[in-house]
Amino acid sequence: MAFSPQACLFDLDGVIVDTAKYHFIGWQRLAEELGVPFTVEDNEQLKGVSRVGSLEYILSKGGLDLDNDTKVRLMDRKNAWYLDLVSAMGPDELFPGVVEFIDSLRASGIHVALGSSSRNAPLILNRCGIADRFETVIDGNSITFSKPDPEVFLKGAEAFGAEPGRCVVFEDAVSGVEAALNGGFRIIGVGDAEALAQAEFVIGGFEHFSLQDMVERLS
């Protein structure tokens, strides 16, 4: 029997747009101020990791032990730099084919939600001109736990009264794939096939991927 999806839930960074490059600039700048080396490889380790977890990674790498008030100030500083960068984003930064794919889902009666741990997701969606594509947005402002906890995706499914097993999650991070699996969702990886081996299958992007492709490969 062909798979019949009720909803598709999209992560933001690495799936719809590339904001990792802006996170990298912010975290690297903060790390340098703290005297901690921070490389592209370090940034890869932070994919899908919360703001607190990312700071703790840097502090641990530098052997630093700071009080909570200082940690909050550092996170706020990094976030201010990040906001300056993403505030200049535009539709040209959307990955090829992703808007067309989302539109095909909506046209077929499949619900579409964003499931991201980023607190800045609404800003980014608005800057890129696609906020109206999503029927609901579950982000860092409305969740308690970070991936691999499945809360962000479970809330998305609940918004539509959908069963997790009939919802498809698109994720580029290992922690996001684990979150989808933990919640009983169908999962398609976007990006590195080796890193995302736990996904049911992995696509390089949406430019040559269709709703029919999705249904056939998940059936």
Does residue 69 have an active-site annotation?
Answer: no
Number of Cβ within a 10 Å radius of residue 129:
13
Cα distance between residue 156 and residue 164, in whole Å: 9
Place of tokens 């996001």: 176
Q: How far is CA 195 from the centre of its chain?
A: 15
Label residue 208 exposed, middle or buried (CB < 10 Å: 0-12, 13-18, 19+).
Answer: exposed
Tell me the β-bridge partners of 168: 8, 186
Let me know the angle formed at the C-alpha of 134 by 118 and 85, rounded to the nearest 5 degrees.
40
Contacts of 65 (CB under 8 A, 6+ apart): 59
Does residue 65 have an active-site annotation?
Answer: no
Place of tokens 């976030």: 79
What is the residue-wise DSSP string for 154-203? HHHHHHHT--GGGEEEEESSHHHHHHHHHTT-EEEEES-TTTTTTSSEEE
Cα distance between residue 77 and residue 118, in whole Å: 16
Continuous segment of H or E residues that includes residue 23? helix 20-33
Instruction: List residues with catalytic annotation.
Output: 11, 13
